[in-house]
């Protein structure tokens, strides 16, 4: 799958992609996955895309179709120091396993609640123990959930003390936009100091909508907790989306160079690589 293009970085400085996927075509897939790509997107292919667009570092996200089969991604982290990763694991995972993953470049756990009919009870001992282990390791929770359900879970993550990174602008209800209760709860959580938001998946949410979301985030909470991400290779929308367009979509509402540098690189470098 070819995505590389002529070198034309949006930002003439450090750029970090906070969310991308790599996978092989023969990885085990869960029953009834949201997506099931029939092709491979290798670390080497992705690194070529990064180089073509002036991206120095990146964070690989575990994908819900493969659940806790993190093996392929972890191999990439071991091989390429430019990469970090977030894994999918069960809440019962032992700290020893997490520590081994940390040595390989894993920096967080992805929770794909968006695929769940019912959100787990985060007040149980198993979940409180899990979140405490993540906090003790200084990892983050990479949360993918639909915006209207954000208020159900934010208080639990905040009480745990773990760092929280929300996918795709918090995925507000498209009918309500920035007035969505979840979006407003997200803004309050950012202000409390341990929540970040990915400026990603404009191709899924709609470019006009994400421009509105992004400008509102800048207006209310500033740029320090915002990170750009491509969501490459755009599973389910490969033909219509391009890497360069994911950068341009966010760059379009950047008010100045200082903000651009924070969102495209500086914030993510501190969060994932420091």
Q: In angstroms, rounded to a whole number, what is the distance separating the alpha carbons of residues 240 and 85?
A: 26
Give the residue from 135, 142, 140, 134 showing the smallest Cα distance to 111: 142
The band of 12, judged by pLDDT with boundaries at 50, 70 and 90, is: confident
| pLDDT tens, position by position, 19-65 | 999 999 999 999 888 788 999 999 999 999 999 999 999 999 999 99
Predicted pLDDT at 2: 43
What DSSP letter does each residue of the chain carry, written as one string?
---------SSSS--EEEEE--B-TTS---SS-S---SS-B-HHHHHHHHHHTT--EEEEE--GGGTT--HHHHHHHHH-TTEEEEE---TT--HHHHHHHHHTTEEEEEEEGGG-SS---TTSHHHHHHHHHHHHTT-EEEEE--GGGHHHHHHHHHHHT-EEEESGGG---TTTGGGSHHHHHHHHHHHHTSEEEEE--HHHH-HHHHHHHHHHHHHHH-STTEEE---BT-TT-TTT--HHHHHHHHHTT--SHHHHHIIIIIHHIIIII-
Higher-scoring residue by pLDDT: 1, 92: 92
Predicted pLDDT at 4: 43
**The 16-20 sheet, strands edge to edge:** 16-20, 57-61, 83-87, 106-112, 140-144, 163-166, 195-199, 226-228
Predicted pLDDT at 9: 58
- In this structure, of 5-14, 114-123, 125-134, 198-207, the range with the lowest mean pLDDT score is 5-14
Residue with tokens 């894994």: 87
| Mean predicted lDDT score pLDDT of the chain | 94
Whether the CB-CB separation of 139 and 108 falls below 8 Å is answered with yes
Higher-scoring residue by pLDDT: 7, 74: 74
Question: In the chain, what are the domains?
Answer: 16-273 (3.20.20.140)
Is the pLDDT at 104 greater than 60, yes or no? yes
Predicted pLDDT at 191: 97
| pLDDT tens, position by position, 145-176 | 999 999 999 999 999 999 999 999 999 999 99
Of the chain, the percentage scoring pLDDT greater than 70 comes to 96
């Amino acid at each position: 799958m070819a995505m590389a293009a002529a070198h034309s970085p949006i930002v003439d400085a450090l750029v970090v992609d906070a969310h991308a996927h790599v996978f092989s075509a023969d990885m085990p897939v869960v029953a009834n996955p949201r997506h099931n790509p029939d092709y491979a997107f290798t670390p080497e292919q992705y690194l070529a895309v990064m180089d073509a667009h002036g991206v120095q570092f990146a964070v690989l996200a575990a994908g819900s179709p493969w659940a806790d089969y993190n093996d392929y991604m972890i191999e990439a982290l071991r091989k390429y120091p430019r990469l970090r990763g977030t894994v999918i694991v069960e809440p019962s995972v032992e700290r020893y396993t997490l520590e081994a993953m940390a040595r390989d470049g894993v920096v967080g756990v992805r929770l794909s609640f968006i695929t769940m009919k019912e959100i787990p009870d985060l007040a149980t001992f198993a979940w409180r123990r899990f979140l405490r282990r993540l906090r003790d390791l200084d990892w983050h929770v990479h949360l993918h959930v639909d915006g209207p359900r954000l208020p159900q879970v934010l208080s639990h993550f905040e009480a745990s003390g773990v760092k929280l990174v929300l996918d795709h602008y918090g995925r507000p209800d498209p009918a309500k936009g920035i007035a969505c209760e979840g979006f407003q709860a997200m803004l309050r959580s950012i202000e409390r100091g341990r929540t970040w938001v990915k400026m990603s998946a404009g191709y899924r949410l709609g470019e006009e909508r994400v421009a509105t979301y992004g400008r509102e985030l800048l207006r209310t909470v500033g740029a320090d907790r915002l990170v750009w991400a491509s969501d490459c290779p755009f599973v389910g929308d490969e033909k219509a989306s391009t890497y360069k367009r994911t950068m341009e979509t966010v760059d379009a509402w950047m008010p100045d160079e200082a903000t651009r540098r924070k969102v495209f690189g500086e914030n993510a470098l501190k969060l994932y690589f420091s």
